[in-house]
Every structure is written in C-alpha cells, then in structure tokens.
C-alpha cells in the first residue's frame, strides 16, 4: 500500500541556517582546491577542505532533519517517481521555462556539489553500522526530489506549468520522488555499487539520457529522452496537446534513471530492474 501523507505548510520549511552551511561548505571545498595549487598554502588548503566537509555534513544533517517525515512505502521497487500531466499546458511557455528555472539551477548546483561528500560519509557509516544515517538519507533523496520537480517542469518532461517550490521536502507539486528507507545495507556493496555493479545500467542511461548524465553532478537531460521531449514540445506548440504516448515513455525513462541514481548514491541495495515502467504513476509489482 502506498502511504500518502497530508501536506501542510510546515512540510515546505527548511532551515536557512543549514542551507547556508551547505553553501559555505561547498565554497570552502572549492577554495581548498585553489589553495592546494600553492605548496606554501598547503595547510590552509587542508584546513579549508576539512572545514568545508564539516560544514556540508552539518548543513545536510540539519536540512535532512528539518524535512524528515514518516516513511513512504513504494509500489514495488523501493523508489517511487511519479508525475501528473497537466491537461491545460500552455503552447509556448516551454520555450522560456529553462530561463524561469535559473534560480533553481543555482541552488541545485550547490546542493548537488555537496552530495558526493554526503554519500561518501554515509558509505563510511554503512561500513560500521550497516545503516544509512537517516538525516543524510533524507538530504540525498530531497536533492533528487527537487531535481526531479525542476526536470519535470523545465527541461526533461515539460509536463506542468506550475512553478516548482524551493524545497527538499515533499509537496503537493504534481511531480514527486521518494525512496523507502532501508533498515540495513550491505557493507561490501558500498565499494562496488556506484561503478562496477551499476555499469550495465550506466551504459544504458548514457544512451537514454546522454553520456553527460554519467559524468555530471546529477541527472541531466540529453540523448534519446531529450529528443523525445523536444518532439513532444513541438507537437504541443502546434496542436496545444501533449502526446500521451510520448509522455508515458519519457516518464519510464526518467523512472529508470532515478532508480539507478538512488542505487549509485548507496540509498538501496536492491538492484534496479532492466525495464521501462511507463506512465504517470508507479504500478505495484510483485
């Protein structure tokens, strides 16, 4: 059974102080890379790196705690990606949605830059405890959720004209993403999930979404899915309707992409299925 929780105003709130900590941490880590180029500033670089990592983790823990709610059960595979097609889409708004979404891109750039640090720290914790720190888990899922809303609105689906909210939390926005929190995780898979075990999927994703996705900070848009969305946008421009078949196929591709990203982020041990589960909603599988 899929659990749907009531959405209240408190669900949208995030800690501004912890967001500032993440941003400051990312900037400090970036500054450390420049300091390491000068041997005379080596210790300053080490201090900036250590301080930046600490700020990122403190900020991520705080943000994860601020949005944490009761867990959501998936419909089958333990990730849930859904999106509702708006039946009254504007014919031409998609031409400028990427421009309207620039504020989201800026914030997401900092949030994504912190994810590798969070995943690495979580991997260390999994080695010792077999558990993903719950607040860091919420942070990573929250970044994926926020990214999916922007992709659904501005670049990778174009299926709603409703502007995405600036939050990691679940909202009433017509696109959502969730991952079931695992009770235990394998220690040894920490070393292999993100590259070796996921390699067959990464090759397929490179075709579906473009090779840039594999080497980027987060799920991007290109390849086959980018072409399909462009065709759907042209049909929308001339007919005023979004082709339902294209929408279902695009959703299936993104569902595959985000399952793989959850797996490579160490969020689950369940190996992603090699299939396109098309359509707006997750369908229960056994």
Chain-wide mean pLDDT for the chain? 90
Domain presence at residue 40: yes
DSSP symbols for 85-115? PPTT--SSTHHHHHHHTHHHHHHHHHHHHHH
Confidence band for 186, pLDDT divided at 50, 70 and 90: very high
**Closest alpha carbon to 165 in 14, 12, 20:** 12
Domain presence at residue 192: yes
Residue 12 is predicted with a pLDDT of 56
Domain presence at residue 2: no
DSSP symbols for 103-149? HHHHHHHHHHHHHHHHHHHHHHHHHHHSS--HHHHHHHHHHHHHHHH
Mean pLDDT is highest, among 10-24, 124-138, 270-284, for: 124-138
Distance CA 248, CA 13 (A): 32
Summarised one tens digit per residue, pLDDT across range 8-29 is: 444 456 788 999 999 999 999 9
Domain presence at residue 77: no
Helix axes 223-239, 199-209, angle to 10 degrees: 30
Distance CA 13, CA 113 (A): 22
Confidence band for 74, pLDDT divided at 50, 70 and 90: low
Domain presence at residue 275: no
Residue 214 is predicted with a pLDDT of 52
The mean per-residue pLDDT over the stretch 183-200 comes to: 95
Mean pLDDT is highest, among 34-48, 113-127, 197-211, for: 113-127
Place of tokens 């001339």: 238
Confidence band for 269, pLDDT divided at 50, 70 and 90: very high
**Domains in the chain: how many in total?**
1
End-to-end CA distance of the chain: 12
Residue 196 is predicted with a pLDDT of 94
State the sign of the Cα–Cα–Cα–Cα dihedral 247, 248, 249, 250: positive
Phi, psi at 195, each rounded to 5°:
-135, -60
Residue 285 is predicted with a pLDDT of 62
Domain presence at residue 174: yes
The mean per-residue pLDDT over the stretch 262-267 comes to: 96
The mean per-residue pLDDT over the stretch 189-218 comes to: 81
The mean per-residue pLDDT over the stretch 42-57 comes to: 97
Query: Looking at per-residue confidence, does 218 or 208 come out higher?
Result: 208
Residue 221 is predicted with a pLDDT of 66
Give the SS3 label for residue 286: coil
Residue 4 is predicted with a pLDDT of 37
Q: What tokens does 10 get?
A: 């408190």
Q: Which residues contact 192 (CB under 8 A, 6 or more apart)?
A: none
Distance CA 267, CA 182 (A): 8
Evaluate whether 115 touches 267 at the Cβ level (below 8 Å).
no
Q: Which domain holds residue 28?
A: 9-71+84-264
Confidence band for 72, pLDDT divided at 50, 70 and 90: confident
The mean per-residue pLDDT over the stretch 246-261 comes to: 95
Instruction: Say whether pLDDT at 6 is over 60.
Output: no
Q: Which residues contact 251 (CB under 8 A, 6 or more apart)?
A: 81, 83, 157, 278, 279, 280
What is the helix (H) or strand (E) element at residue 178, kind and residue range? strand 175-179
Instruction: Say whether pLDDT at 155 is over 80.
Output: yes
Domain presence at residue 177: yes
Confidence band for 3, pLDDT divided at 50, 70 and 90: very low
Domain presence at residue 215: yes
Residue 223 is predicted with a pLDDT of 82
Distance CA 40, CA 256 (A): 47
């Amino acid at each position: 059974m899929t659990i749907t929780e009531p959405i209240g105003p408190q669900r949208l709130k995030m800690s501004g102080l912890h967001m500032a900590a993440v941003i400051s941490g990312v900037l400090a880590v970036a500054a450390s890379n420049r300091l390491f180029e000068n041997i005379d500033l080596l210790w300053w670089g080490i201090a900036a790196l250590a301080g930046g990592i600490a700020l990122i983790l403190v900020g991520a823990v705080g943000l994860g705690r601020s949005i944490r709610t009761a867990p959501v059960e998936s419909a089958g595979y333990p990730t849930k990606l859904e999106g509702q097609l708006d039946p009254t889409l504007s014919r031409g708004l998609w031409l400028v949605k990427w421009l309207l979404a620039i504020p989201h891109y800026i914030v997401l750039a900092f949030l994504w830059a912190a994810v590798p640090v969070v995943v690495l720290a979580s991997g260390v914790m999994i080695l010792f405890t077999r558990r993903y720190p719950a607040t860091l888990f919420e942070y990573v899922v929250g970044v994926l959720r926020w990214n999916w809303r922007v992709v659904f609105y501005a670049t990778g689906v174009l299926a709603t004209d409703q502007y995405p909210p600036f939050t990691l939390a679940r909202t009433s926005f017509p696109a959502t993403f969730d991952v079931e929190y695992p009770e235990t995780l394998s220690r040894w898979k920490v070393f292999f999930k993100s590259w070796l075990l996921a390699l067959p999927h990464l090759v397929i994703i490179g075709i579906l979404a473009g090779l840039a996705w594999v080497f980027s900070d987060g799920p991007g848009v290109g390849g086959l899915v980018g072409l399909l969305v462009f065709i759907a946008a042209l049909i929308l421009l001339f007919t005023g309707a979004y082709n339902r078949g294209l929408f279902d196929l695009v959703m299936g591709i993104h569902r595959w992409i985000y399952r793989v990203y959850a797996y490579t982020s160490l969020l689950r041990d369940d190996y992603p299925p090699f299939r396109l589960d098309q359509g707006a909603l997750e369908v229960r599988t056994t």
